[in-house]
Amino acid sequence: MSRIFVSGCGAVSPAGWSVAEMQRVLAAGQPLPVQPLARPGWDKPLRMRAVPAPAVKPAFLAHPRLRRTSAITHYAAAALLEALHGLPPDPARRLGLIVCLQSGCVQYTHRFFEEALADPATASPLLFPETVFAAPASHLAALLENAPRVTTLMGDPGTFAQGLALGADWLGQDRVDVAVVIGAEEVNWLRADALWHLEHAAVISGGAGAVALCRNPDWSAGTELVAVTQPRSYCAHRDRQQAAAAVRGDLAPMENELLCDSLGDSPRTDAPETAVWRDWAGPRVSPKRMLGEALMAAAAWQCVAAGAAVSAGTHPSAIVSITGCNQQAIGVRFRACPGPKDSRNICV
C-alpha cells in the first residue's frame, strides 16, 4: 500500500481567503458575526456569514475561462491554487481534480431559471452552461492546463471524504502525481431559503476548501492521510446516529488527538453527532460553529483544519467526523509525518 501525504491545503471562508485566516478564527473559538441576507418577499432577512471580498483581486480572474464564472468557481480556484502553492514548479506534473459539490452553482441556476420562466425566448444562453455541476471542475482544469483526470462528485458533505479516498486511489494507481480534492459552495437567498426550511437555526455560508494529496514524501507538508472510513449510508436500517456511531467505532482514539467535527448551529441536525461524540475528552474544533453552514465547503474546511493542525505540530494526529445531513457519515484521520525539507509549511 502506498503512503499518501498532504502536500498542501487551501481555504476560502467567511474568515478570509487563506488557510491561515481560517485557522486564526478557529483558534480564537468565537463564531464570526452573522449578517442579514435579504429574502425577497420577506420582511425578515435570512442569516448568513459571507465571504469577505479578497484584499487583492486574484490574478486568476484574468483567465479567459473564469471571466463569467460565479463565486463558487472563484472560491474553488483560490483554494486550489493555495493548496498547490508550495509544490515545486513542474509543468509535467499530472494533476487530478476531484470537485465535490452539494448545492453547486446556485447563483447562475437561480438567474437562468428566473429568466427562463419570465421569457424563454430571451433567457441568456451564457448562463445555462455555468449552471452545470461540472462547470467549476472544467474551469479549474482549464486554469491548470496539466490536469489529465477530472471528475465532479455530488452528495452531502460526507462526499468530500469519499473524494479524498478517490484521490488516494488515483495516486495509488499512478494515474496522477498530485490529486486535489476540492469542496465548494456559494451563497444566494434561494439556497438559504431551502436550508431555512430544513433547519431554522442554521446560518448559511459559502467558500471552499482544498486538500492536495501526493505519494512523494518530499512534497509532504508534514501531514499524512492515514484513513478514510467506509461511508455509512443512511438507509432503512441505519439512521444518522447509528451511522455516526459506526464511524466513531472505525476510528480508535489516539493520544492528544484533535477531533474536527461537523457540528454547527442546528441542535436538531447536530443531535446524532453530539450524542455519539459526547464523551470525547480530547481537543476539539467545530468549524461550522464559527464559519457557518457551507455544506461541502464546510466538510472541506474540517479536513483542512485537521490537516493544518497536524502540519503545524499542534497535534500528532487529527480525526474528522462528518455526519452528513442526508446521505452518509464518514471519518478521516490525518497524522504527522516528516515535513517539508525547507521552511515552508504550506498547510498553515
Partner 1 sequence: MMFPAPPLPTEPPRVVVTGAGIVTALGRGWPANAAGFRAGRTAFRAVTLFDASRQRVKKAAEADLPAQMPATRLTARQAARLDRASALLLLACVEAWRQSGWEAADDIPVVLGTTSGGMPLGEDYFRQAVRTPHRHRHQPTRAFHYQAHAQGRIVLDALGLGGTLSLVSNACASGTCAVGEAWELIRRGAAERVFTGGYDALSQFVFSGFDALQALSPTSCRPFAQTRDGLAVGEGAAMLALETLASARQRNAEILGEIIGYASTIDRHHLTQPQPDGDTAFAAMTAACATAGVTPAEVDYLNAHGTGTPLNDAAEAAAINRWAGARADTLPVSSTKAGIGHLLGAAGAVEAVVCLMALGGQWLPPELIADPPDPVCRFPLVTRPQDARLRTALSNSFGFGGVNATLIFRRWA
Closest to partner 1 by CB, 155 vs 292, is 155
Cβ neighbours around 283 below 10 Å, total: 14
Which amino acid, 305?
A
Kindly identify the residues of this chain, within the stretch 277-306, that bind partner 1 according to CB under 8 A.
none
Closest to partner 1 by CB, 4 vs 22, is 4
C-alpha span between 300 and 210 (Å, rounded)? 6
Kindly identify the residues of this chain, within the stretch 247-266, that bind partner 1 according to CB under 8 A.
250
Out of 165, 247, 285, 305, the only residue in the binding site for partner 1 (CB under 8 A) is 165
Q: Residue 20: what are its φ and ψ, rounded to 5°? A: -60, -45
Kindly identify the residues of this chain, within the stretch 316-345, that bind partner 1 according to CB under 8 A.
326-328, 330
Out of 62, 89, 119, 278, the only residue in the binding site for partner 1 (CB under 8 A) is 119
Out of 110, 280, 312, 314, the only residue in the binding site for partner 1 (CB under 8 A) is 110
Contact between 229 and partner 1 (CB under 8 A)? yes
Q: How many residues bind partner 1 (CB under 8 A)?
A: 80
Closest to partner 1 by CB, 21 vs 250, is 250
Element (DSSP H or E) covering residue 106: helix 106-118
Out of 20, 132, 201, 271, the only residue in the binding site for partner 1 (CB under 8 A) is 132
Kindly identify the residues of this chain, within the stretch 6-35, that bind partner 1 according to CB under 8 A.
none
Closest to partner 1 by CB, 152 vs 317, is 152
Kindly identify the residues of this chain, within the stretch 173-192, that bind partner 1 according to CB under 8 A.
173, 190
3-state secondary structure 138-204: HHHHHHHCCCCEEEEEECCCCHHHHHHHHHHHHHHCCCCCEEEEEEEECCCHHHHHHHHHHCCCCCE
The secondary structure of residue 290, as a DSSP letter, is: H
Range in contact with partner 1 (rule: CB under 8 A) among 74-82, 127-135, 176-184, 277-285: 127-135
C-alpha span between 107 and 110 (Å, rounded)? 5
- Closest contact distance (angstroms) between CB of 164 and partner 1 is 7
Closest to partner 1 by CB, 31 vs 128, is 128
- Tell me the per-residue interface mask from 31 to 70 with partner 1, x by CB under 8 A, - otherwise: --------xxxx----------------------x-----
C-alpha span between 345 and 73 (Å, rounded)? 26
Element (DSSP H or E) covering residue 300: helix 296-311
| N- to C-terminal Cα separation, the chain | 28
Out of 5, 17, 75, 112, the only residue in the binding site for partner 1 (CB under 8 A) is 112
C-alpha span between 87 and 89 (Å, rounded)? 6
